[in-house]
Amino acid sequence: MRFNKKITALTMALLLVILTLAACGGGSNKEASNSPSGSAQSSAPASQPASPSGSGDTATKLTGDFEIQYFVGGFGDKWWKKVIADFQAANPDLKIKQSAGPKINDQNKPRWIGGNPPDFVYIDGAGINDRQMVEDDLLEDLTDWIKTAKNIDGELITDLLAQPPQQYDGKTFNIPLVLNSWGVFWDKKLFADKGWTEPTDFNSFMEVSEKIKADGVTPFIHTGKYPYYINGAILFPAIVAANNNDYSILQDMAANKVEAFEKPAVLTALNKIVQMRDKGFIDKASIQINHTDSQMLFLQHKDAFIPNGLWLPNEMSKDIPEGFDFGFIPSITHDAGGKVVANTSTATVAVAKKGKNKEAAKAFLQFIFSKAQASQWAELSGAPSNIKGDISSSNAPNFVKDAAKYLTDANTVVVPTITYNADVDKAMMDATDALTIKTITPEEWVKRVTDVVKKASK
Amino acid sequence: MSTGTVKRHRNVFIISFIVPTFLFFCVFTIYPVLQALYYSLFDWSGMSETKDFVGLGNFTEMFNDPIVWRAIGNDYFLVAGKVIGIMIIATFFAVALTRFKFRMAGFFRSIFFIPNVISVVVIGVLWNFIYNPQIGFLNGFLSLFTESKVDITWLGFPQHTIWMLLPPSIWAGIGFYMILMIAAIQNIPASYYEAANIEGAGQWTQFRRITVPLIWEQMKVSILNIMMTTLNGSFVIVWIMTEGGPDNTTQVMGSYLYQMAFRQYHFGFGAAIGVLILALSLITTVVLQRLMRHESVELS
């Protein structure tokens, strides 16, 4: 019996040692991957660094490995494959590696944690957040570079951007690649058949909704499971409109400034949602359904309006009934005669701070932000690109061309993409949901959200 | 061979089985638990290279977070609801299928077991459809009896939406525990019931005096198992059906863990919730075992 105990004790001791060693092993692995020589994928940086100002000097030869991480979602990967092939052709000595897929953000996470990230990253999809990456110090500071960076055609990149990059304490870390807009959709054909007027502002929206309701159709559906749809397409444009079309209020909200949330514009905007709710325009089903279900109900004409992004027609392309003709307006909450507010939603690109071939990454930025890519992106991904360029002659879908027209119109306030603090964003979503089912008042919305802002900005 | 050698051989034999198992247990259970404990002491986004040590900061914050308390409440509500619901229905079916022998027993046994074969994800999607206010089965069915169309938002009540997650959870769990009870009941010698019959005991008395005491061990195991799988696994059904919404009313500890760790980038806080789940599971197991200990009856 004593012998038994001894053996057990010995085994336990042995195991403890093994476990400790295993734990140490994990740590040393991490360290190893931190150092450039520790990983098989890393290699010496480009032997000939490009000019630091990024003047678009394409004569500089790029060599070494260059890794691009891109998420494959609603926009597909056709454009990425094409542009990477073109970039490879232009730089034959560069060894380009693509890390891509719908799960790439999660798959590559350990490498970002371990300090061995890819050189270039496209920030889109679940599991990746630009603001968080900036806070985690994972992205290269592009503030000075972007000021003078020219693309391969010798044009200043900042001149080509339809919307400027988001600023974090005055610094630039990521550049918007896609220009998408939130807004409200309807079916033009249904409206024509029923004799409903297409809305141009809040009043006309409320008037036609009254009529739609009287005709037995619910005017408005959204996805309560993902309330960022109604926030992005209704609430945020409404706040900007109520703030004399000055979108700096949203930027202040994103910078966790409590006073921005307490401005009267926020209450005015929330009260517009309350009006829609109290008139019974919001489909009761909204609160519990996901985006797909809400979109299906909209396509089945159970509801007349839906807040969504420009990707909607692409996303639902298989289920769109014959004759369905998408009408779109970026905002419905501005007053008659006021400007339309387009709250853009985008996906950005950035260079990893710990990337091993930053020169190639910057050269790739100079390559993709060119006019030729504007049409190519619109054609291959079905969404407007953030590069100013005439896409009217391209093969892009009609609603993309229409939206692009809206976004370049002088009568539209284009709100650059703003990423909120994740805690604040969640609090706003929950509060808006609660507001639509009457469990809180607009004042309580503000109170709730500012409480979270105060905590998050600590 | 001396007794010493025999003993040694025996020990080597035993160790050759225990050590690999124990090793796997350490690597896949103990190590992650320790890691979670470790991470719960840090303020870490889950992607950053640096972690800030905050001691018990995450735990203090956790206990000051009203959503955590609601999640704990919801979890225990599900535990209680599932234990009561599953045990009553599973036992009823088991007794019905064994004691009241009828022709279709085998068929019904299979039917009741089917939900157990279906993935929880499918169950969630299926019940989402049942509960859909516009095109769902439940409202469609109720509308047959009313003049105007029923449009109840089953998963969108301002409060108590968690009640609606009970039926799918119970429905999904019955089959397995029913099989467990059936096996237990079939182990009871038929002579006990015959004797009881002769003594003039009715079905109800037989159930109360013979069946329940003799399957109590299995019932105990079932109750503990329901409790543990609910505390650890209620995440799936919640995440598929409501993602904790609307407005966090259906949040359970697992879903809030996921929300905080992967959606709001507070990995340390998420790990702290993980530790809380572990602690509560252990405490509840001990408490339940104590509560149910004295009532087991040995089949002699």
Q: What is the pLDDT of residues A236-294, one digit of tens each?
A: 999 999 999 999 999 999 999 999 999 999 999 999 999 999 999 999 999 999 999 99
A132 and chain B in contact, CB less than 8 A: yes
Sign of CA dihedral A80, A83, A85, A88: negative
Residues A288, A436, single domain; the answer is: yes
Closest residue in B to A114 (Cα) is B49
Closest residue in B to A139 (Cα) is B48
The listed CATH number (3.40.640.10, 1.10.3720.10, 1.20.1440.230, 3.30.360.10) that belongs to domain B65-293: 1.10.3720.10
A300 and A187 in contact (C-beta within 8 Å)? no
Residues A110, A189, single domain; the answer is: no
SS3 of residue A155 by DSSP: coil
A121 and A350 in contact (C-beta within 8 Å)? yes
A127 and chain B in contact, CB less than 8 A: yes
Give domain status of residue A356, yes or no.
yes
Residues A305, A364, single domain; the answer is: no
The string of pLDDT tens digits covering residues A433-446 is: 999 999 999 999 99
Residues A229, A140, single domain; the answer is: no
Residues A163, A196, single domain; the answer is: no
A208 and A201 in contact (C-beta within 8 Å)? no
Sign of CA dihedral B171, B175, B176, B178: positive
What confidence score (pLDDT) does residue A408 get?
A: 77
Closest-CA distance, B96 to chain A, in angstroms, reads: 38
Residues A86, A140, single domain; the answer is: yes
Task: Check pLDDT > 80 for residue A218.
Answer: yes
Domain count, chain A: 2
- Give domain limits for chain B: 65-293
% of chain B beyond a pLDDT of 70: 97
Residues A164, A195, single domain; the answer is: no
What confidence score (pLDDT) does residue A82 get?
A: 93
- Closest partner CB to A136 (pick from B45, B154, B243): B45
% of chain A beyond a pLDDT of 90: 60
Instruction: Look up tokens 């019931």; give the residue.
Output: B193
| Distance (Å) of CA A229 to CA A143, A271, A329, A423, B78 | 31, 18, 14, 17, 31
Cβ distance of A135 and B45 shorter than 8 Å: yes
Enumerate the residues of chain A whose CB falls inside 8 A of the CB of residue B154.
Answer: 288
Q: State the best of A18, A30, A287 to mutate against chain B, taking most chain B CBs within 10 Å.
A: A287
pTM: 0.84
Task: Check pLDDT > 70 for residue A13.
Answer: no
Enumerate the residues of chain A whose CB falls inside 8 A of the CB of residue B15.
Answer: 7, 11
Residues A210, A237, single domain; the answer is: yes
Enumerate the residues of chain B whose CB falls inside 8 A of the CB of residue A282.
Answer: none
Using an 8 Å CB-CB cutoff, list residues of chain B that contact chain A.
Answer: 7, 11, 15, 18-19, 22-23, 26-27, 30-31, 45-50, 131-135, 151, 153-156, 158, 242-243, 245-248, 259, 262-265
Q: Tokens in use for A281?
A: 């325009």
Q: How far apart are CA B177 and CA A275, in angstroms?
A: 51
- Closest partner CB to A287 (pick from B19, B23, B246): B246
Cβ distance of A7 and B153 shorter than 8 Å: no
Domain that holds residue A72: 64-179+346-389
Closest residue in A to B32 (Cα) is A23
ipTM score assigned to the predicted complex: 0.88
% of chain B beyond a pLDDT of 90: 76
Q: What is the residue type of B34? A: L
Give domain status of residue A422, yes or no.
yes
The string of pLDDT tens digits covering residues A50-61 is: 333 444 444 568
Enumerate the residues of chain A whose CB falls inside 8 A of the CB of residue B168.
Answer: none
Residue A274: closest CA among A58, A66, A440: A440
**Exposed e or buried b per residue across A113-128, where buried means at least 16 C-beta atoms within 10 angstroms of its C-beta:** bbbbbbbbbbbbbebb
CATH number at residue A99: 3.40.190.10
Q: How far apart are CA A324 and CA A312, in angstroms?
A: 13
Cβ distance of A288 and B153 shorter than 8 Å: yes
A111-115, B105-109, B261-265: least confidently modelled range: B105-109
Q: How far apart are CA B180 and CA A139, in angstroms?
A: 55
Q: Averaged over B59-78, what is the pLDDT?
A: 95
Q: What is the total residue count of chain A?
A: 458
> CB under 8 Å to B283, separation ≥6 — which residues?
none
Q: Sorting pLDDT into bands at 50, 70 and 90, what band is A411?
A: confident
- Closest partner CB to A132 (pick from B15, B47, B155): B47
Give domain status of residue A248, yes or no.
yes
Enumerate the residues of chain B whose CB falls inside 8 A of the CB of residue A2.
Answer: none
Cβ distance of B265 and A422 shorter than 8 Å: yes
Cβ distance of A434 and B247 shorter than 8 Å: yes
Task: Check pLDDT > 60 for residue B152.
Answer: yes
Q: Averaged over A69-88, what is the pLDDT?
A: 90
The string of pLDDT tens digits covering residues A308-341 is: 988 888 778 889 999 898 888 999 999 998 999 9
A191-200, A218-227, A260-269, A369-378: least confidently modelled range: A369-378
A11 and chain B in contact, CB less than 8 A: yes
User: How many other β-carbons are positioned within 10 Å of the β-carbon of residue B149?
Assistant: 11
Cβ distance of B246 and A15 shorter than 8 Å: no
Residues A163, A99, single domain; the answer is: yes
Enumerate the residues of chain A whose CB falls inside 8 A of the CB of residue B264.
Answer: 422-423, 426
Task: Check pLDDT > 50 for residue A17.
Answer: no
Q: Sorting pLDDT into bands at 50, 70 and 90, what band is A25?
A: very low
Closest residue in B to A107 (Cα) is B47
Residues A80, A201, single domain; the answer is: no
